[in-house]
């Protein structure tokens, strides 16, 4: 199974399409109010770095992060290209220059899934095996 997953990831990378599942077994989840079914990797990065406050269809977006864990490490490494410390520094720069806010940060996959389910416009990430009732999964292109 692991070998198959590895081969699937190589195939996805080779085709230029990185799915959420290939990005280290995480899923990008969104509140049901988010109309999009897919999202580009660049836009996802912009949303979590808060340089993009609404989706391309105009829907205001509320990013939610995890404070630690394997899903968080995967997002740092494969999506944001930052260490946890440099991400914290980045958000603090936004706050102390008045240009933005620190995103909501929660402690577990389940807490993120629950927050996304009840918060209009919310987008977060969870481990692929997390049960996420009431949310949609976005395909990352």
Which positions lie near other proteins, rule CB under 8 A? 42, 46, 51-54, 60, 81-86, 88-89, 92-93, 95-102, 104
Provide the minimum distance between the beta carbon of 68 and other proteins in the complex, in angstroms, as a whole number. Answer: 10
Provide the minimum distance between the beta carbon of 77 and other proteins in the complex, in angstroms, as a whole number. Answer: 9
Q: Please, how many CA atoms are within 13 Å of residue 139, restricted to the half-sphere of its CB?
A: 5
Which one, 87 or 138, has the nearer CB to other proteins? 87
Provide the minimum distance between the beta carbon of 123 and other proteins in the complex, in angstroms, as a whole number. Answer: 14
Which one, 7 or 70, has the nearer CB to other proteins? 70
What span, in angstroms and rounded, lies between the C-alpha atoms of 44 and 123? 9
Which one, 111 or 128, has the nearer CB to other proteins? 111
Helix, strand, coil % in the chain, rounded to nearest 5: 40, 20, 40
Q: Which of 123, 134, 111, 35 is nearest to 75 (CA)?
A: 123
Which one, 6 or 77, has the nearer CB to other proteins? 77
Provide the minimum distance between the beta carbon of 102 and other proteins in the complex, in angstroms, as a whole number. Answer: 6
Distance spanning both ends of the chain, measured CA to CA? 23
> Quick check: 108 and 125 in contact, CB under 8 A?
no
Give the three-state DSSP class for 64: strand
């Amino acid at each position: 199974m692991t070998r198959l997953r590895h081969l699937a990831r190589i195939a996805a990378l080779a085709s230029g399409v990185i799915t959420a599942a290939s990005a280290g077994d995480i899923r990008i989840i969104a509140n049901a109010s988010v109309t999009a079914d897919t999202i580009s990797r660049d836009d996802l990065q912009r949303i979590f770095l808060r340089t993009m406050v609404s989706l391309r269809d105009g829907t205001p977006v509320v990013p939610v992060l995890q404070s630690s864990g394997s899903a968080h490490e995967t997002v740092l490494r494969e999506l944001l290209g930052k260490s946890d410390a440099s991400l914290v520094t980045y958000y603090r720069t936004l706050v102390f220059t008045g240009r933005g806010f620190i995103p909501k940060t929660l402690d577990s996959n389940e807490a993120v899934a629950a927050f996304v389910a009840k918060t209009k416009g919310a987008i977060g990430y969870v481990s692929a095996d997390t049960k996420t009732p009431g949310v949609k999964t976005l395909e990352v292109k």
